[in-house]
Amino acid sequence: MSAARPVLRAAPSPASQSRHPGPAHLNAEGLAVEFDLGGRKQRVLSDIDLKVGKGQLVALVGPSGCGKSTLLRLFAGLMSPSAGKIEVAGMAPAEAARRKLIGVAFQDATLLPWKTALDNAAFLLETADPSLSRAEVRRRAQHNLHLVGLSGAEAKRPSQLSGGMRQRVAIARALTLDPEVLLLDEPFGALDAITREEMGSLLLDIWQRTQKTILLVTHAFDEAVFLSSDIHVMGTGPARILETIANDLPYPRDAQTYRDPRFSETEARLRELLVKSHKGAAP
């Protein structure tokens, strides 16, 4: 349970005290998921407690297959837990999704193959608000594609885009409805290192301007440390949150952040926890 879970503070600062303003925007308590595999139950998540304050940007890391995407699907309202409680903005995730409070970019981009990048980015807006003119829908979609660095690629279909470009279209699409919550599943996984850093800075910029609540799944230690305030580390067999690292690096973060001694301390701690969780042992 969360009460017993250690929360590490590499270097306490006044900023860390305002880390959890108000009630949790994303809230999971005692969450469990079991999949039915032809009569045999596979427990994937067990006793997950996770709270994300409104306007927080937090990272979720853990070994491949431990259940990160499953947890995101629960928060997106796409599936129900076998046990426990889950809420987004104080309501059932499916209701929050219905009210368009949630934007999701999945690991595999899931674009509509027959639509162009622009039409994929515009798709949700068209269906969500039929009163908007076609020109306005295109303008907003174009703006979001520009935000993710895809100006000029509007007319391309998913098969004509690289994996990283498809991921960026998915992020543009997640932004379309201006949701309060962004659930991002390895959104930069297919990008080269420099573009990944650029996209990370862009995400920070969007977050600082809009104060969206962001839950980011990533396998990249440096990305987790550079972007997030809390890093939730998951273990396997079945998955639970092993530890939450409170990352006290101050915002705004920039190239200097990588040189802050707290950056390497937090990254080293994260690496240590993940090595242990890969071995299936609690730290």
Ligand X SMILES: Nc1ncnc2c1ncn2[C@@H]1O[C@H](COP(=O)(O)OP(=O)(O)OP(=O)(O)O)[C@@H](O)[C@H]1O
Cα–Cα distance, 275 to 270 (Å, whole number): 9
Which residues contact ligand X (rule: CB under 6 A)?
35, 44, 62, 64-70, 107
Task: Return the one option of ligand X, Mg ion, none that residue 35 interacts with (CB less than 5 to 8 A, by type).
Answer: ligand X
Query: Contact with Mg ion (CB under 5 A): which of 69, 110, 201, 208?
Result: 69
Q: Which residues contact 176 (CB under 8 A, 6 or more apart)?
A: 103, 121, 122, 123, 124, 125, 128, 140, 141, 144
Using the minimum distance from each CB to ligand X, give the nearer residue, 3 or 37. Answer: 37
Which amino acid is present at 62?
G
Q: Between 145 and 214, whose beta carbon lies closer to ligand X?
A: 214
Binding-site partner at residue 82 among Mg ion, ligand X, none, CB < 5 to 8 Å by type: none
Min CB(44)–ligand X separation in Å: 4
266: tokens are: 């937090």
How far apart, in Å, are the Cα atoms of 158 and each of 71, 162, 187? 27, 8, 16
- 131 makes contact, choosing from Mg ion, ligand X, none, with CB < 5 to 8 Å by partner type, with none
Least distance in angstroms from the C-beta of 71 to Mg ion: 9
The amino acid present at 214, given as its one-letter code, is I
Which one of the spans 61-69, 190-198, 202-210, 260-268 is the region binding Mg ion (CB under 5 A)? 61-69
Instruction: Give the residue nearest to Mg ion (CB).
Output: 69
Complex with ligand X: residue 149 or 189, whichever CB lies closer: 189
Which among Mg ion, ligand X, none contacts residue 231 (Cβ within 5 to 8 A by kind)? none
Tell how many helices (H) and how many strands (E) occur in the chain: 9, 10
CB of 34 to ligand X, least distance (A): 9
Decide whether 186 or 267 has the Cβ nearer to ligand X. Answer: 186
The per-residue DSSP string of 60-106 comes to EE--TTSSHHHHHHHHTTSS--SEEEEEETTB-HHHHHHTT-EEEE-
Q: How far is the CB of 33 from Mg ion (least distance, A)?
A: 13
> At closest approach, how far in Å is the CB of 142 from ligand X?
31
Question: CA dihedral in degrees (193, 103, 236, 90; nearest 10)?
Answer: 140
Binding site for Mg ion (CB under 5 A): 69, 107
